[in-house]
Structure 1
Amino acid sequence: MTTHSVHEAPPGPLPRKISRKPTGVDAVFVHSFRAIGASVLVITGGIGAFLAYQSIPTLRHYGFSFFTETQWQPDQDTIGIAAVLLGTLEVAVVAMCIAFPLSLATALYISEYAPPRLKGTLVSMVDLMAAVPSIVYGLWGFFLIQPHASEFAHWLHQHFGWVPFFQVNADADAAAWDRIQYTASAFIAGIAVSMMVMPMACAVMRQVFSQTPPGEKEAALALGSSRWGMVRTVVIPFGRGGIIGGTMLGLGRALGETIAVLLIISPEFVIKGRPLEIGTETVSALIAGRFGESTGIQLSALLTAGFVLFGITLVVNTMAAVVVNRSRSGAETG
């Protein structure tokens, strides 16, 4: 019986360990953008810390009454931002009531209805609106929109004056109605701000709508759905996160708009809740209008008002991020 020697096969190469650590160009890219992101957080935190530190003298001097007082009279040592916060909210609400439907309709038309040869032109025109300086929108609102908007405000007061939001301290049915009572209002300022907000919100919504999976759109059409039915059941649910994000981004811009509002409104420190009526004030317009002549405690009060606006904007953006993360685009399509 012949015995054959059995030789063991040489061991093969060991599996290579996969490293997630970036190298070369990837490492430069990762570290560069990590540094940029960290710098944004540091700058934002630095701004908040500076405003908070500058607010200490105001809070020590006025206490909680700074948030409940309506008047702004430094000569009498009476300063508060209650009326200013309400005016800021009124302008932002009016702006978003106009900008939201315009943004959504424009984004849907460009992404789903516009002819291919027209899409590029429409996108460029909407983006160009975002590049127009705010002072131009302010002049446009003051000289062109205000005469027509005051007539529309009078019409709203006549027909919907029973709603507190549309009330004006004037006789709506008078033979010669007082036009002055319907000018320089939060309503007119909100119209100007809405045109500044709309391009930003529209760009976000349009970008999300354009990422809708073509297969799902074609499947809806193949099952007999109309174009609007496909948009309603596929595109809009897929882009819900973009709709919320674009709206919140626009709201942040509306809350902080300065020059356009400063050119249009007539400053008034009164809590009235009537945006169609003359007179209001916002935090940003207050700071821009009085910063150059302010010293001492009034300057600290302006910085405190800025800190409050900074906090409100931060809360709004944080809430938007939470909502968007919980409703990712496409999560409800199927």
Structure 2
Amino acid sequence: MTQSKELYDVTIIGGGPAGMYAAFYSGMRDMKTKLIEAKEELGGTMLIYPEKMIWDVGGVTPILCRQLIAQLAQQARTFDPTLVFGQQIVGLDRLEDGTFLLTAESGETHWTKTVILTIGYGILKMSKLEIEGADRYEVSNLHYTVQELEPFRGKHVLISGGGDSAVDWANELEPLAASVTIVHRREQFGGHEKNVVRMRQSTVNVRTPYAVTQLHSKDGKAINQVTISQVESGETETLDVDAVIVNHGLKSDCGAIREWGLDIGVRRVKVSSKLATNIPGVFAAGDFVDYESKLYLIAGAFTDAAFAVNSAKLYMEPKADEVAYVSSHNSKFREKNLALGVREEDA
């Protein structure tokens, strides 16, 4: 195992939207940057729903999530940060000179002056369908994520769940599937109000309050029928299906980061208005943070990231500018603009 004691100004832990934008913005601040991602690719939680349409990012027309990931990843690489994949950071130690030593679960080590945590929901695991033997169908037609829409064309699809993902998939699949039935154990759905209204006004068969209670298979390999039960009366009904999608939410775990001494609640870390944690030199951004007026949107993650980077810069250099110059006046973009064929007087 090769170890390098190269010291970075900032190390970003987590490669979701907050982490990717932090990598870009730290380049604007002329900081030597490293980003460490536990998976083998950038995207974070967004990788769970690559085929969803994203509508609420400012200045971006409706875009497939996988395309937005690609654009964010390209932007993150603008100033050539060091990207490290496949390492889950478990250890944080402050050294005598005030810098930090980060240790990965696999033993790799990293040295940095500041840290920005952009781990989102931490280690994510899908909440599985709690029916005995359900796992045998995960290789055929029981799905916990949807990577592509086309395989569901012309199929009879049943969705179990009532949150954003369940509602979104019902709306996305309704135009191309033969039928879509959504089963939820409560009358009310937890998705965005506009999307819920759209679903209820479509051809989606909404069954509430119901729960999936049995899976049936003619050949033991794929589900062909599902029994649903009325939560209050216990009355049952069996439906023919070609595919079952389960969206029962995600179980999250911060892992060893909980042992660092951070002020962490059930799932999120408490931060100041400047995105500083209770450990000097450690900042956080994105869905992992909790503060008054926090906006849990991708757009909010970008603002968090910029605040966290600026705070990290000032932590190292108290006399530095509080923020980066905007790109239209930032000298770091002069050569990049010329490479794009933009005249300096137009930039």
State the TM-score, normalizing by the size of structure 1.
Answer: 0.20
Higher helix proportion (structure 1 or 2): 1
**Bigger relative contact order, structure 1 or 2 (CA pairs below 8 A, ≥6 apart):** 1
Structure number with the higher strand fraction is 2
